Amino acid sequence: MNKFKIGDKIIVKENFWEIKSDIDATDNRKKLAGRTLEVKFVFNDGDVYTKQDDSNDNTNWSWDKNWVEPALRTIDDVQEDDLITNGGISRRVLGRTGKAVFTTYSWGKGEGEQTGSCGTFSIQELKGNNYTIVNETPTPEKLELTLEQVAEKFGVDVTNIKIKK
């Protein structure tokens, strides 16, 4: 399962070029560190393709999935399959057209999730009723590091590192 989908807002990680990748980290690409971009396409391996959001040209970029992270989204960014809540009622978004959001009551999670009656709301109604997007974070991928990489990250000598379980 890919952690990103079309329309997601992502943030380019600071010093992303230090993370190993098959994609070339050009100087022009490095200028986008810390910036928020929108996903236009997701590759089968999870890498993403974006348009530089503040340019007036057609500058596009491919990003290694490990170079970017999800940006915090607001109810204005709600999209299909999002889970939203106002602290009392949870709803699953069935779809969206412009400012109209189609929802269903939702309880449970994953395969055990149950749904009930549907409702259509405007973005303004959802905001007025204090709905927010529930951040359903995917299980992180395993991160493999050498002791040398850990030592460099924390600025200590590798001989002074002891790993506990």
**DSSP string covering the chain, please?**
--S--TT-EEEEPTTGGGS--SS---HHHHTTTT-EEEEEEE-TTS-EEEE-TT-SS--EEEE-TTTEEEPPP-GGG--TT-EEE-SS-EEEEEEEETTEEEEEEEES-GGG-EEEEEEEEEHHHHHHTT-EE---PPPPPP----HHHHHHHHT--GGG-----
Query: Could you tell me if 94 and 119 lie in one domain?
Result: yes
Domain contains 34: yes
Query: Could you tell me if 35 and 85 lie in one domain?
Result: no
Q: pLDDT of 67-104, one tens digit each? A: 998 887 788 888 888 888 888 888 888 889 988 999 98
Query: The domain containing residue 23 runs over which residues?
Result: 9-70
Does 7 have pLDDT greater than 70?
yes
Does 158 have pLDDT greater than 90?
no
Query: Could you tell me if 18 and 60 lie in one domain?
Result: yes
Please say which residue of 48, 70, 92 terminates a domain.
Answer: 70
Domain contains 144: no
Residue in the structure block whose two tokens are 């500058």:
59
63: which strand partners?
Answer: 48
Q: How far apart are CA 107 and CA 99, in angstroms?
A: 24
Domain contains 55: yes
Domain contains 96: yes
Domain contains 105: yes
Domain contains 13: yes
Please say which residue of 49, 70, 91 terminates a domain.
Answer: 70
Does 140 have pLDDT greater than 60?
no
Domain contains 115: yes
Domain contains 140: no
